[in-house]
Amino acid sequence: MRTRFAQQSRYGLTALLATALLTSCTNSSGVAASSPRASSGSATPSETASPSPSPSLPPLPATNPSAGSEPPTAPPTGRPSPSKPAPPTPPASATPKPPAPPGTSSSVVYRTASGGRTVALTFDDGPGPATGQVLDLLARYGARATFCLTGRNATAYPATVQRIRAEGHRLCDHTVSHPQPFAALSHHQLEYEIVTAKDMIVKAGGAGTAIPWFRAPGGGFTKDNQQTAAANGLRPLGWSVDPRDWSRPGVAAIVATVQRELRPGGVVLLHDAGGDRTQTVGALRQLLPWLAAQGYNYDFPAA
């Protein structure tokens, strides 16, 4: 009896242990199935959080290793490029001069237009009281000459300017007021003297008055005044013979200097104004027949 009871008890205990073991295994499988590692459809917050995407940047341009001197082009910024500052304006003294009209040279001329056995007689500083006597002598010997007029004297003697033109002579610009030393004048001053004198002479001479030359007072030529003259259609005019008649050395001295220094194609400097020109007129009375005897023809300076 006791043995049968013991067997039943053992069988019951065994069943209980088996049931407990089965329950334990079942629970363990459920936990494993619900574990994050075992589930393919779930993840931990640290796994589901994606890193913040980097901001989109424009691609850098490809660089050319062989073009080391060329920096890569910067990507556009959406803003206009700042404009470059304008170059500084050069001072007035550095302002380039206007080009001379076609055919006008800025070099100083010292010879006649045709060369050969010719002479160009030129008279400075007029018109003046002696200009009429000079014109009378030139007409007597059939001579032609060039008169270098100041603007002030042209305005004071317009009828004489017109007579010079009417008798076949030519005109030259000799500044407004004959300032000296002319080479020391500023560009503004010399430009006024040259350009204004030209306008004054044209006004005195009337319509169609031509002025091919400019002569600097005292021969004070500079690159600046030569270029300014040429830019206004005036060829700078010098001379090859200067008897210094303005200093009144005497008629004989004036005549002797011209006869000694004149060469074919020469330009003679004389004066018909700016002081007492009695000696010049007296010397001209001797020089005109002498020139004819030497076979000289009268011409104008080269232009």
* Residues labelled catalytic: 124, 271
- Other CB atoms within 10 Å distance of the CB of residue 64: 9
Tokens at 229, concatenated: 């003259």
CA angle 182, 187, 189 (to 5 degrees): 60
Q: What is the dihedral of CA 71, 75, 77, 83, to 10 degrees?
A: 30
Asked whether 259 and 111 are in contact (CB, 8 A), the reply is: no
For residue 228 the two structure tokens come to 């300014």
Nearest to 241 by CA among 263, 221, 212: 263
Residue 253 in contact with residue 283, Cβ under 8 Å?
no
- Show Cβ contacts of residue 165 under 8 Å, excluding neighbours closer than 6 positions: 171, 205, 206, 209
Q: What separation in angstroms does the CA of 107 have from each of 81, 99, 213, 224? A: 49, 14, 11, 11
Report how far residue 102's alpha carbon sits from residue 105's, in angstroms, rounded to the nearest whole number. 9
The residue type at 129: P
Helix and strand numbers (H, E) in the chain are 9, 7
User: Which region holds residue 17: left if phi is over 0, alpha if psi is between -120 and 50, else beta?
Assistant: alpha
User: Which DSSP symbol is given to 93?
Assistant: G
